[in-house]
Structure 1
Amino acid sequence: MVLDITKFLNRFIDEARDLLGYLGEGVKNLEQGQCDAELINSLFRSAHTVKGSSRMLKLQSIADTAHSLEELLSALRDQKITVTQPIVDGIYQAVDSLSDMVEQLASSQDPNSLPSAPQALCDALLALAAGEKSAPTTAQPLAQPVSMANEVAAAQTSKPQPALASSDSVRLRLESLESLSKLISEVTASHAGLRELVRDAQALKLSWESAQDAVLSKQRFDSLFNNLKEIVGSQEALIYSLHDQAMGLRMLPLKQVFEPAAKHIREVGRMLGKQVSSQISGEHIELDRSIIEQLSEPLVHLLRNAMDHGIEEPQTRLDQGKPAAGLLKLSAWQDGGWVVIELSDDGAGLSLEKIRQKLAKQQLSADEIANMGEQELFNQVFLPGFTTASMITEISGRGVGLDVVKRKVVDDLQGLIEVRSQEGKGTSFTLRLPLSLAMLRVLLVETAGHMLGFSAQYVVELTRITPEQILEVADRNVFVLRNEFVPIFELHQLIGLPNLTNTPGQISKNLLLLVVRVQHEKIALVIDRLVDEHDLIINTLPEHLAHNPLVSGMVNHGYQQLVSLIHVPRLLELARKKHQKTADNSIKSITQQHLLVVDDSLNTREIERDVLEAWGYQVTLAEDGLDGLNKARNGDFDAIITDVEMPFMDGFTLTTHLREHERYKNRPIIIITSREKDSDRRRGIEVGADAYIVKGSFDQNNLVDTIRALLG
């Protein structure tokens, strides 16, 4: 009788993934200096189990590779050899090779599809076990069973490319299944109660038609209403519990994509000839499976970008006083309704000068480039086709990558991405992702007769303002929200919806504003009313509507009413474009005077710059007091405009330091802040400010007149 092994393959694959994951963690501990006997024994047992299981299923290539690894670990266990870097590298390569074969088996479900064992690697492992000192021959990584969409670099080279992939099966705790079964039983019982109430209602209808006693009929109706209300409330609670349980089953740890990341780093490092170590933390954080599965592509791009562009060659790093091996950190943590993933390197960092040169080649004017702040310049790396690489390689340089990352994170995963860098010291990319795309906290609002939804992670607050609080600055309406200018837009006009209520604008009465934010940028949207706030299931758009970037999904409200969920990052892009069109018409006078604007609010910086540039001033922006002080010392400004409340250094301290500098002893310094107290005004005068303007009563003409008076 021939044994049918196919039904055992999935069990083997799950077990092998667990064991290889443990081997990967163990060799990381070995590399960090933990060489106790128990660790080595447990690694040996894991390799031995993989070997034994694969031999039983006639998976010869896996068995042979695992046997070579087992021999090396046996020599370590018996203290015939000691842990060295070549041994650590050999174990890493063996684990990577075994993982490749297991994933290929999972993809094909055909043992005959496996290639032969990597003989060069097996021989090198046996040589290390025998006490030879040389490092193992670099093994070619196997072709991955999961292809990466948009991985252009991989498609254009014959070399196999590593990929991150999540498992197509998950293990469930027995108590989770029992809890789910219990909830389903309770929902079934509740539904039976509803059927009883339907029969009661039918009986009431018949009795009502023939009843002579109105009081009795009303009593029966009240009883039916109360019972119906109670059972519907109970069923609603059960449905939410059932959904929570189902969502819990969908959640997977980031380990699913973080664990292969270390392997990916090693393989790309070998391809590039670079030494790179990795630090991974937060892999226990859980995300919805649908997000985990889509996270692979952006992480691959970011890892490859860091390896190729970020980490320098070993000799270059040594010449700069850095260790020869670069460091990549991949970490995650939960922040409210978001999961934050950060990938950072200690490499060369982004060169602002190279970014400016690239933008100049893309036909941007010198003035446009000069007016870009540091963060705005960094954000240019997400533009399609943007690359500062001087040469196209197998890994990068084609201008494909970071634009794919942004599109995937922002559009597909409803998240945010931010880049920070310091030249010579490294770069970090921060991704903020919702816990789930299946259900989100949604605010339903009504504007001009239309109902629209906003996911809560983008909402700052709802607030009412009077017409007197509206300021006209740089050709747009703004109001002051906690020390920053926030632009105001009519929501239906911004997204091009007709006014179905046929009522004029609300400028003459109090406005209800929905303030939304993407990273550091805010806008306020005029709405008529807040309809509801609920955790709602997000339905994907039908194919014929999927092209609309402004709508990220649909939610159900009331009795089968579909409501569009607005994609806030695209909404802010619309707001920026709308202002750019009106700003193009501004009349500028001619002056060469150069002003420095210092404010930690992106909105406020941009609005003040628009006002000043409209009058012909050249403007440089600084993001906080310390940044402002550095730019002032390295530049030559005719006047400085600063906020007070800022991180790192407040405006009072900045003014004090500037007055100590020879160049700025007598240059005008203007404080613009929301602080209205006389004590704050006196403090401004004491530290040397020439003017003090309160944002709540801000008038752009007053600002320009003040600057003109001070500059003469």
Structure 2
Amino acid sequence: MALDLKKFITRFVEEARDHIRQLGEGVASLESGDAGVVHAMFRSAHTIKGSARMLKLDPITETAHRVEDFFASLREGRVRFQAESGECLRQALDALSAQVDILAETPDGARLAPSDPGLLATLIRLAAEESPSVAPESVPAQTNPEPVVSTGVPERSDSPAPPGSDVRSTPLPPPPSPVVTPDRAPSKPEGPREEPRLKNVETVRVRLEKLDELIKLMGELLSSHARMRQRLVEIATLDRQLATSGLDGSVTVPLHLFAGRLREDVLDQESLMTELHDKTLMMRMLPLAVIFEPAQRLARDLARSVGKQAMCQTRGAEIELDRRIIDKLSDPLIHVIRNAIDHGLETPDIRLAAGKPAQGRLTLSARQESGQVVIEIQDDGAGISLERIRAKALRMGLVNEERVAALTERETLDLIFLPGFSTTTFVTDLSGRGVGMDVVRQTVLEELRGAIEIDTVAEVGTTLRLRVPFSLAMMRVLLVEVNGAHYGFTARHVGAIRRLSRSAVFSLGDRDMVILGNEFVPLLRLSELLDAPGAVSSGSTPRTHAEEPFGMLVVVLAIRDEKLALEVDDLVDEHDMVIHPMPELLRMAPLVSGLVVTGENALVSVLHAPGLLERARRLRGGHVATIPERREPGHDRVLVVDDSLNTREIEKDMLEACGFRVTLAEDGLDGLRHALAEEFDAVLTDVEMPGMDGFSLTERLRREDRYRDKPIIILTSRDREEDKQRGMRAGADAYIVKGDFSQGNLVDTLRTLLGWRGHGG
């Protein structure tokens, strides 16, 4: 369940006002020469910042962060408190107080104004003890308008926005007006005057939601047109029946002519609608550059944050995809890049020792292939250790020793995509929580109806390959019949359709096989694969004698280098169809990717080819790992240690909502007392606390036998790399930055860590 953080706003307002008051008193003490209050002031600013980050209150977070930085520099002796410092701090506290007052009136934070850039710049300068200078002039902040689609050249920035369009808040300076004085009038230009002309507008701006509605309506129109095609079938049948009924030609001939004209009209209309739908869809296409370019910056920033060097190159960024697919590709791409940086690329010293350049290389490329777009993310790192994957699979109980020895390279690499699977030993907000690659697989296979594969070579690098369609709005669909029921296949996964004699079926081991194009292809009856009623084996006795002269009808699915032959009863239809998403409760069904509506207004399931191939491997004894059952999280006790009441309560409500039993401690010493007096399955601690900080608490608990292997998670607003490394040295299993905090992040991390140790979650 999702946790509504807004209900914690009231408690945050009370806590923040108390800390702001203490900070104000502290500034007065510093001005009077009392430097002993610096530590307490730092903690107050730190608490405001941390709580605000968890509640996604960015303006308050930014101001409190800069105040905290100043007190950090002050207590470390890097700067001196001066009169200018006091004045600037009072302005910052006034700004914080005003922001908190606004938040008290509107708890959703919608009215919070952006932080003053000039004030923040001054605080940064004071924290760095730069020479006094004029603070940068405040720049009006831009709002974040809804995205719009431009259908041509960019608009002039000084032209008025069309009605209904977004207007950006950045003010435009008015053009200078000519000054006319009595003794000096402006001179008139020589020559004929040019007549004013209106400039033709070459673009219009359309909200994406309106464009989406238009495309959806076009899809519905095409779906409803399938009923017109069905009417053609019905009238053609009636025409044939009347032609053989012996009725007078005065009745049958006009009907025959009408049926012909109706057929021409329906086909013409279908052609026009299809063209209109395609052109409308083109308006929603975007180049991959919109996600490739930010991904380049992300890769560089992530590499820098973990002490690595990376160069990111892109190819094929001009290829266009439906914006819906672009949107869904964003998160998987981030997950893959994070893993490539964190797990794939080595540090500069290791690369140099291996004879590689210090700077790693990451390549994002795209190409068109067989009606799909293939996106590759390639790194030149150390590659993926198959032995580490197998060892982790054994430790997690996914496979036993006998099965792990029989895993092929592809089956071993597929383990990476299981929920909760990770080979890293330290979890950060960057990667290692085991909740990344399964998201990639789920998004690509289930939501984008694509395919995913991975290749790796030791010391050479890893390539992850995503295959996605250009659009999800409409696809070519083959409808088949099995045991009286209809099913669909997307045409891009259909490699061939064959009529084969049953004598062509032979056994190889425990599999029925056929030879197609000099290849051995496994053969299954589709009803057997779907567990449909009346399922029979492909190699069994023919169902009726009438079928034997024609042999059996086989649809061959092809994905990558893998093929599967499926016996069906009949072919029903094949044409472009709108594929509707599955209902929310059924979206996890692995064998169905969507629904189409037939001319009889019936719903038909579109089968997911990658899921069918995986099911076939299971039925034929393939080594496919599954997640073992784990006990309910309600058996796990978690100790939450944080000096902020608001933060403690947020974490408590969040964890209890997911079934954990939670005990709270108000600081490090209190947490140690609780941990020694009772036994907990996991500990969640802040860093900056009075008495004993989170690093010291972690080190102390690791000296206790009962906490030597228990999960300890550090949840803090300190995001420096040296702090993360210190947390790892102290013995923490995970380090989560509050700025990247979310319910799913924390709970998934906790469940993963408990699962590693055989606990529930």
Place the TM-score, normalised by the shorter chain, in its bin.
0.5 to 0.7
1:433 aligns with 2:474: no
Q: Does 1:492 align with 2:527?
A: yes
Relative to 1, partners in 2 of residues 1:463 and 1:108: Cα closer, same or farther, differing over 3 Å? farther
Q: Which of 269, 282, 286 in structure 1 is aligned with 2:303?
A: 269
Q: Is the Cα contact below 8 Å between 2:150 and 2:204 reproduced in 1?
A: no
1:121 & 1:485 partners in 2: Cα distance? 71
User: Are the equivalent residues in 2 in contact too, given 1:449–1:500 (CA < 8 A)?
Assistant: no
In 1, Cα distance between equivalents of 2:566 and 2:355? 51
User: Displacement, 1:547?
Assistant: 3.8
Does residue 346 (structure 1) correspond to residue 354 (structure 2)? The answer is no
Q: Work out the CA distance in 2 between the residues paired with 1:265 and 1:177.
A: 35
Q: Could you tell me how far 1:217 is from its partner in structure 2?
A: 5.3
Task: Give the structure 2 partner of residue 560 of structure 1.
Answer: 601
Name the residue aligned to 2:358: 324
1:465-614 correspondence runs (5 A)? 465-499=500-534, 504=543, 510-580=551-621
Shift of 1:379: 2.2
| C-alpha distance 123-426 of structure 1, shift in aligned 2 (>3 A) | farther
Shift of 1:559: 3.0
In 2, distance between residues paired with 1:472 and 1:488?
10
Give, in angstroms, the shift of residue 216 of structure 1. Answer: 5.2
Alignment of 1:701-712 (within 5 A): none
Contact 1:167 1:256 in 2 (8 A): no
Aligned length: 420
1:446 to 481, 485, 490: 481
1:242-279 deviations in whole A, cap 9, x for unaligned? 11112111211111211111121122123212211110
Q: Which residue of 1 aligns with 2:491?
A: 456
> 2:542·2:548 contact (CA, 8 Å) conserved in 1?
no
Structure 1 residues 299 and 499: alpha-carbon distance in aligned structure 2, compared to 1, 3 A threshold: same
Deviation by residue 1:452-486 (Cα, 9 ceiling, x = unmatched):
10001111101122122111122221112233321
Q: Larger RCO: Structure 1 or Structure 2 (Cα < 8 Å, ≥ 6 residues apart)? A: 2
Change (3 A) 1:221 1:329: same
1:671 paired residue number? none
**Partner amino acid, structure 2, of 1:430:** R
Determine if contact 2:345/2:379 at 8 Å carries over to the other structure.
yes
With over 3 angstroms needed to count, the CA separation of the structure-2 counterparts of 1:218 and 1:487, relative to structure 1, is closer
> Which residue type is aligned with residue 344 of structure 2?
G
Looking at structure 2, the residues matched to 504 and 577 of structure 1 have their Cα atoms a distance apart, in angstroms, of 26
SS at match of 1:225: helix
Report the residue type matching 2:520 in the other structure: F
**How far did 1:356 drift?**
2.5
User: TM (normalized to structure 2)?
Assistant: 0.50
| TM-score computed with the length of structure 1 as normaliser | 0.53
Alpha-carbon RMSD: 4.2
- Answer whether contact 1:460 1:515 (CA < 8 A) is retained: yes
Give the equivalent residue in structure 1 for 2:151: 172
Question: 1:580-627 CA distances to partner (integer Å, 9 max, x unpaired)?
Answer: 2999xxxxxxxxxxxxxxxxxxxxxxxxxxxxxxxxxxxxxxxxxxxx
Are the aligned partners of 2:514 and 2:523 in contact in 1 as well (CA < 8 Å)? yes
- CA apart distance, 1:223: 4.6
- Residues 483-542 of structure 1: per-residue CA shift (max 9 Å, x gap): 332111111121022249998378956111111123332211111122221111111123
Which residue of structure 1 lines up, in the alignment, with residue 414 of structure 2? 379
Seen in structure 2, the aligned counterparts of structure 1 residues 486 and 360 have a Cα distance that, compared at 3 Å, is same
Q: Distance in 1 between matches of 2:586 and 2:390?
A: 38
Which amino acid in structure 2 is aligned with residue 504 of structure 1? R
Q: Residues 188-231 of structure 1, C-alpha deviation per residue, up to 9 Å, x if partnerless? A: xxx9xx9xxxxxx9xxxxxxxxxxx9655555544533432222
Q: Does the C-alpha gap of structure 1 residues 247 and 450 become closer, same or farther in structure 2, counting only changes over 3 Å?
A: same
Asked if the contact 1:342/1:431 (under 8 Å) is kept, the reply is yes
Are 2:121 and 1:119 equivalent residues in the alignment?
Answer: yes
CA distance in 1, matches of 2:408, 2:260: 62
How far apart are the structure 1 equivalents of 2:505 and 2:554? 12
Report the counterpart of residue 595 of structure 1 in structure 2: none
Task: Please give the alpha-carbon distance, in whole angstroms, between the structure 2 residues aligned to 1:329 and 1:114.
Answer: 37
Q: In structure 1, how many angstroms separate the alpha carbons of the residues matched to 2:351 and 2:622?
A: 47
The corresponding residue for 1:415 is: 450
Identical-pair percentage = 41
Letter in 2 for 1:119: A
Cα 1:468–1:402 change in 2 (3 A) is same
Paired residue for 2:340?
A: 306
SS at 1:580 equivalent? coil
Gapped runs of 5+ residues in structure 1?
A: 1-59, 61-106, 125-144, 147-165, 195-200, 202-212, 584-712
Match of 1:87 in 2: none
Distance change in 2, residues 1:316/1:442 (3 Å): same
**Counterparts of residues 34-183 of structure 1 (less than 5 Å):** 112-113=113-114, 116=117, 119=121, 168-173=147-152
Gaps spanning 5+ residues in structure 2: where?
A: 1-58, 60-107, 127-142, 153-200, 206-210, 229-234, 236-246, 625-761
Q: Does 1:260 find its partner at 2:308?
A: no
**315 and 547 in structure 1: CA distance in 2 versus 1, 3 angstrom threshold:** closer
- Return the letter of the residue paired with 2:517: R
The whole-number CA distance in structure 2 between the counterparts of 1:505 and 1:565 is: 27
